[in-house]
Amino acid sequence: MANQQEIKYLVPGLERGLQLLLAFGGQHRELTFAELHRLVDMPKATAYRVVQTLEYMGFLQRNPRTSTFALGMNVLRLGFEYIASLDVAQVGQPVIEQLRDSSECSSHLAIRDGRDIIYIARVSAAGSRINQVSIGTRLPAHCTSLGRMLLTDVTRAEFEQLFPQERLPGNAPDRLDNRETLWQMVQQDKARGYVIGESFFRHGISSIVYPVFNRSGGVAAVVSILVPSGEVPHSARERLQNEVRLAADKISGLLGYLSKAS
């Protein structure tokens, strides 16, 4: 629930426009203005102005023959662009399966949504006893090695918008809670180009994380493996790093990214 401080900053016109768009669904693909007005809680004159605005902007389209409204192309375009952003899961799934087989470690793909990371693909190692996350699981970005790598793509201004307080959210013991410390860690991760988190999120579990880049060079996702050890064994560290890096490079290439080296 939004608190009163948050509610006072809402934009009424935007809220009404979105409320009206949400009236459309599987059972209401086309609606007359009268039907729309019955479904939304706003004065008739206000609803009329909102409909006119949405039609002008292409979010609604009018059928002159039936005098009904339907969702316009701009709504579809927003949806298609979001779906296109999920291509990383489609192209990445077989790659992280290969990574799982070569590393013998559980492998994951994750993206960032605001201050959270979202797991969009995962494969478990044979006989793994690590409690696996499921696809769609959200975790705080500042608490995880994957989140730190995903945050390397934000500017300082964007970072401070995400974390406006000096103290980071959450108060779990032994958890990173200082914004400036996190920023410095993220800058070090960015310069290094990868993250090795040893018992960073969960005691006794390590991870190796590399970024996946999109066509424009932005961080689209991260690839990681989970190593069931408090530290990554030094005898296997270089090999495992190389396998995760190659997997990330392969997915980046499939997304159209051309590295400086290539």
Q: What is the pLDDT along the chain (262 residues), one digit of tens a residue?
A: 455 555 666 777 788 888 888 888 767 788 899 988 888 888 999 999 999 999 999 889 999 889 899 888 888 776 655 555 557 888 899 999 999 999 999 999 999 999 999 999 999 887 766 656 788 888 999 888 999 999 999 999 999 999 998 888 875 555 677 899 999 999 999 999 999 987 665 666 889 999 999 888 999 999 999 888 767 888 889 999 999 999 999 999 888 887 654 4
Is the model's pTM score more than 0.85?
no
What is residue 129's three-state secondary structure?
A: coil
What is the distance between the alpha carbons of residues 201 and 219, in angstroms, rounded to a whole number? 21
What CATH number does domain 10-81 carry, 1.20.120.1630, 1.10.10.10, 3.20.20.70, 1.10.3130.10?
A: 1.10.10.10
Assess contact for 12 and 43: CB atoms under 8 A: no
**Domain ranges for the chain:** 10-81, 86-254
H-assigned helices in the chain: 4-7, 12-21, 33-39, 44-56, 73-85, 87-103, 145-150, 156-162, 179-192, 234-254
What's the CATH class of domain 86-254?
alpha beta
Q: Cα separations (Å) of 79 from 28, 44, 76, 98, 159?
A: 18, 29, 5, 31, 26
Return the structure tokens found at 216. 């424009």
